[in-house]
Chain A
């Protein structure tokens, strides 16, 4: 896998970010809709979708396998399995764009909402 070269500010951000947190809604797991692995990935994607644009969750955004691996430490196979499950449930849409292809995601909040409300 080709590694992306980081610039100074990215290195600093990488090294100086011990105080940064992922917000993980308890209901993702407590409703029984997703298992902890799937819920963690959804929480990561929500956080990732909001970068640079606050509040913009329901939009297309890209996230490569390498980025996801660097942030969550899920192997590419595991990522694939979890994304396939989330796609099957209708929680997100994916597409591959460009050459080399890059993974784009769009979260479907209304489906997540439906699933959680139905269960609780």
Chain B
């Protein structure tokens, strides 16, 4: 098999291996730019996978594992720093609440829903205005 075919085969296998693919909802980019959307998606995935305690907090080990920073609890590596920045951004936006050591988080789904609604409304308004301007 030629190298190109080998690469294409590897690529197809990688993209079809659903266990190792993270599906990011496109509209999360509207409320969390770039890699922050990946963090938001992984926090939401963790929310559905992990058990919640009495206060609604759940473990972020799934996110750490997916981003390969499970051995870096201090967030010293490049990936770790980026992830910490992303989680802090989400906390600042009010979508999640973190504990002191950033090992557990609490999700506020209603706030995410509201932010998405607002983003869609703003987009619709912008498009409507553009259409009227064109007329």
Contact = CB atoms under 8 A, between A and B. Distances in A.
Interface of A: 3, 5-6, 11, 14-15, 17-27, 29-30, 32, 35-37, 39-41, 43, 46, 55, 57-58, 71-74, 78, 109-110, 113
A37 B82 contact: yes
Contacts, number: 109
Nearest to A117: B10
Contacts of A21: 23-26
Contacts of A17: 26-27
Tell me the dominant secondary structure on chain B's binding face.
helix
B21 interface: yes
B25 A36 contact: no
Interface of B: 3-4, 7-8, 10-12, 14-15, 20-27, 29-30, 32-35, 37-39, 66-68, 78-79, 82-83, 86, 116, 120, 123-124, 127, 130-131, 134
B22 to A, nearest CB: 4
B20 A26 contact: yes
A5 B135 CA distance: 12
A40 B21 contact: no
Contact of B3 (A15, A32, A110): A110
Given A18-B27, A22-B24, A73-B30, A36 B86 contact: yes
